[in-house]
């Protein structure tokens, strides 16, 4: 039993290490808004093309930021699934 728990802790550590390495970019508006996110879904950067700010349509910019965040989260989930499967040989179990 101790061996199983030890292996599970090692696997968990390895998975967390892999998550910390993940970097994805989500975008919206044809790349006018880009969000960089890590594997723990922390937003690392937000880039907005200057010409988008010239339009002064705040609600559109807000929508594009939300869409870029959603895109980045989707990409993190895909990368996480890929990393989990590479490490364990199995897909992430459904939640």
Domain presence at residue 37: yes
Domain presence at residue 72: yes
Domain presence at residue 25: yes
Give the total number of structural domains in the chain.
1
Domain presence at residue 24: yes
Contact yes or no for 37/76 (Cβ under 8 A): yes
Residues in Cβ contact with 84 at an 8 Å cutoff, skipping those fewer than 6 apart: 15, 90, 91, 92
To the nearest 10°, report the CA torsion of 23, 28, 33, 35: -20
Task: Render pLDDT for 66-83 as a digit per residue (tens, 0 to 9).
Answer: 999 999 999 999 998 888
**Which of 79, 70, 64 lies closest to 19 in space, CA to CA?**
79
Domain presence at residue 94: no
The CATH number linked to 46 is 3.30.1310.10
pLDDT in the model for residue 66: 95
pLDDT in the model for residue 94: 59
Task: Render pLDDT for 10-60 as a digit per residue (tens, 0 to 9).
Answer: 888 888 888 889 999 999 999 999 999 999 899 999 999 998 888 778 888
With 60 as the cut, is the pLDDT of residue 95 above it? no
pTM for the whole thing? Answer: 0.74
> What ranges make up the beta strands (E) of 1-95?
23-28, 33-38, 43-48
Domain presence at residue 93: no
Task: Tell me the residue range of the domain where 69 lies.
Answer: 2-88
């Amino acid at each position: 039993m101790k061996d199983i728990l030890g292996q599970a802790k090692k696997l968990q550590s390895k998975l967390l290490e892999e998550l910390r390495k993940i970097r994805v970019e989500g975008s919206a508006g044809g790349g006018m808004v880009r969000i960089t996110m890590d594997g723990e879904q922390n937003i690392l950067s937000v880039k907005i093309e200057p010409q988008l700010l010239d339009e002064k349509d705040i609600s559109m910019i807000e929508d594009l930021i939300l869409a870029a965040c959603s895109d980045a989260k989707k990409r993190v989930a895909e990368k996480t699934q890929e990393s989990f499967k590479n490490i364990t040989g199995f897909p992430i179990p459904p939640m």
